[in-house]
């Protein structure tokens, strides 16, 4: 798929109430939802890290600072530069919330719980896990996970592409 389609998919996933705008509370609900789903309380240092990483992403993404991110604003912002500057930390912080034994890798249960908290169906999360677990050892590493999402946002390709689609109900090209 082209990058504009990939960005549309991600935008749709982030605009949880479907009003065409990613509001600040809507975006900051993501780390809160992940923390709750993964059994972390608000005082957990990893939860605070995730919250501030998401605040940085939102400030970067909301170019005009009005607390609303439209698709046009999102599309102009998203890409390799934004990913490397702020998104990598935010996505990594969510991965860390799921990594209970702190070994830098997730098993299928942790992975599915994380992806479900972020809006993926369990079936699609399981598919993504299998696609990312290329050596079949039953674990997905942090670097492979982040590289896959970066690939999706920068060139529309990703082992997880199919799994990233389900909110929009589309099939991979």
Distance CA 43, CA 142 (A): 23
Do residues 76 and 130 lie in contact, with contact meaning Cβ atoms separated by under 8 Å? no
CB of 71 to Ca ion, least distance (A): 11
Q: Which residues of 60-70 are buried (b: 16+ CB within 10 A; e: fewer)?
A: ebbeeeeeebb
Neighbours of 103 (CB within 10 A): 11
CB of 24 to Ca ion, least distance (A): 9
CB of 78 to Ca ion, least distance (A): 14
CB of 60 to Ca ion, least distance (A): 11
Can you tell me which of 2, 19, 84, 137 binds Ca ion, judged by CB under 5 A?
19
Interface of this chain with Ca ion, residues 25 to 54, rule: CB under 5 A: 26
89, two tokens: 């930390």
With a CB cutoff of 8 Å and minimum separation 6, the contacts of 136 are none
With a CB cutoff of 8 Å and minimum separation 6, the contacts of 84 are 150
72 binds Ca ion (CB under 5 A): no
CB of 106 to Ca ion, least distance (A): 6
Instruction: Provide the terminal-to-terminal Cα distance of the chain, rounded to the nearest Å.
Output: 6
Piece of 3-11, 34-42, 102-110, 118-126 that binds Ca ion (CB under 5 A):
102-110
96 binds Ca ion (CB under 5 A): no
* CB nearer Ca ion, residue 26 or residue 75: 26
* CB nearer Ca ion, residue 19 or residue 85: 19
Do residues 121 and 45 lie in contact, with contact meaning Cβ atoms separated by under 8 Å? no
* CB nearer Ca ion, residue 100 or residue 162: 100
99 binds Ca ion (CB under 5 A): yes
């Amino acid at each position: 798929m082209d990058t504009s389609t990939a960005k549309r998919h991600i935008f749709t996933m982030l605009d949880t109430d479907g009003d065409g705008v990613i509001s600040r509370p809507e975006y900051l609900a993501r780390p809160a939802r992940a923390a709750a789903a993964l059994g972390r309380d608000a005082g957990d240092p990893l939860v605070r890290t995730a919250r501030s990483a998401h605040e940085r992403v939102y400030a970067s993404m909301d170019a005009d600072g009005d607390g609303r991110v439209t698709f046009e604003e999102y599309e102009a912002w998203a890409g390799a530069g934004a990913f490397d500057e702020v998104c990598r930390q935010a996505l990594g912080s969510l991965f860390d919330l799921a990594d209970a034994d702190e070994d830098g890798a997730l098993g299928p249960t942790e992975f599915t719980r994380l992806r479900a908290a972020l809006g993926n169906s369990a079936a699609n999360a399981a598919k993504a896990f299998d696609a990312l677990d290329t050596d079949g050892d039953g674990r997905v590493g942090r670097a492979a996970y982040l590289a896959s999402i970066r690939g999706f946002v920068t060139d529309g390709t990703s082992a997880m592409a199919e799994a990233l689609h389900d909110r929009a109900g589309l099939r991979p090209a």
